[in-house]
Amino acid sequence: MTPSPDLNALPLPQLYSALSSSGTIDALLRIARDEDLGDAGDITTTACFDEASRNQSVQARIIARRDCIAAGLATLDDLNRVFGSGVDIEAHIEDGHPVRSGACMAHLTGPRQTILTMERTALNLIGRLSGIATLTRKFVDRVRAEAPGSATRILDTRKTTPGLRLLEKYAVRCGGGWSHRIGLHDAILIKDNHIAGIPPQQFGEFVRQAAARARGARMPNFVEVEVDNLDQLKALLALEKGVVDIILLDNMDPATVEKAVRMRDATQSRPLLEASGGITIENIGEMARTGIDRISIGALTHQATSIDCALDFPS
């Protein structure tokens, strides 16, 4: 048994392909199409144009209406296929790159019917994902500015929009962040609700046995354990090397996190340390200066504001 491939090691085009291979993104796009078209299709376009005009080849541009980091342009080819194909798509910017307000993100040429029908779904996805990428880049840039030389990685969480997780995690990567586990299926994260009722003196042994069962059943990408205090951290640091890969420090202030890093550095096991909870753009620099390895931030996905994008037909 081997762990799943490390998605964080893939460049963005390969990452999108890997995420698409499960069929989940295709299913999402089909649901998005069906909720818009229903049983009757695009009755507005049908009412406005005769068949010849609907099938006429036209040109349109996707325009960013504010500065942002692009994300979601990789979905356009799949959207084109799901909505009926026939549209030639030329991206003018790559996912992960900055876009200035008013800039053309992509040029579309094809049947008027197809372009008008897929317009809102395309703009919704690109706007949502670009918003996540833009917010992620703000956190990444703040760490670089306030903790120069820091190796701290910014990660997402599972606090994602149901059905949109793969694309939202892709957007975090576009912004310069890193993906945590994709879901419950690829890595172990033992949290407070898993250990509720376990006596403190049995905590370390409980984790040891759970990690052994997990690795015996299917090799997870990593075994991570959440701790609420330094006593729990001490119990995990006393375990032999390799039992726990990552320890999550939940809702600890920078002073406590710095103490936790020193405790870890004094041991032989040296698991990675991750901070989470209460992290904001205002305090992330201070947190990164503690020497923490990873900072996971649910706000990257659940507090991001969509970027306003538009589809323009040249006059």
The token pair at 84 is 């009926």
Helix 165-174 to helix 24-37 angle (10° resolution) is 110
Beta bridge partners of 68: 99
- Of the pLDDT bands very low, low, confident and very high (cuts 50, 70, 90), residue 35 is very high
**Looking at this protein, which amino acid is placed at residue 35?**
E
Domains in the chain: ranges and CATH: 8-141+304-312 (3.90.1170.20), 148-302 (3.20.20.70)
Active site residues: 120, 159, 191, 226, 250
pLDDT 10s digits, 262-282: 999 999 879 999 999 999 999
The token pair at 122 is 């395309």
The answer, as to whether pTM is greater than 0.85, is yes
First-to-last CA distance in the chain?
59
Distances (CA, A) of 254 to 118, 232, 297: 47, 17, 15
Is the pLDDT at 5 greater than 80? The verdict is: no
* Beta carbons of 258 and 235 less than 8 angstroms apart: no
CA dihedral 155, 158, 164, 170 (to 10 degrees): 20
* pLDDT value for 139: 98
Neighbours of 314 (CB within 10 A): 8
pLDDT 10s digits, 196-205: 999 999 999 9
Residue 77 CB partners (closer than 8 Å, separation 6+): 89
- Of the pLDDT bands very low, low, confident and very high (cuts 50, 70, 90), residue 110 is very high
